[in-house]
Amino acid sequence: MTGSVVIRHGHEIVDDRIVYDETPLSWDEADQKAGRRLDRRMSWAFINNELCKSISYTIRCSGCSECPGEDRGMGCSECGYHGVVRQSCWVEA
């Protein structure tokens, strides 16, 4: 799987959804803007002129995990009957 690089210019809300204004960057442009060579296997973004990388993690499903302290729920249609869901976000690199 290969990564990618985008620069985020802003966002707007359309029909109660957030739509981001992003432009893809070439790896050469991204390396120059970051001041170092970026890992081609990861996804990167420049958000508010800060370099961020995409991370993903697994958490218990909010639709079927009713008891606190459980690592996973019982399973429901929200999580595909696995008890966990994948989340992702951008973090500062």
Residue 52 is encoded by which pair of tokens?
A: 């961020």
**Number of domains into which the chain is organized:** 1
pLDDT in tens, 11-50: 999 999 999 999 999 999 999 999 999 999 999 999 999 9
Distance of CA 89 to the CA centre of its chain: 3
Residue 44's domain comprises 5-92
SS3 assignment for 11-77: EEEECCEEEEEEEECCHHHHHHHHCCCCCCCCCEEEECCEEEEEEEEEEECCCCCCCCCCCCCCCCC
Please classify residue 44 by burial: count the beta carbons closer than 10 Å to its beta carbon, then call 0-12 exposed, 13-18 middle and 19+ buried. buried
pLDDT in tens, 47-84: 999 999 999 999 989 888 777 667 788 889 989 999 89
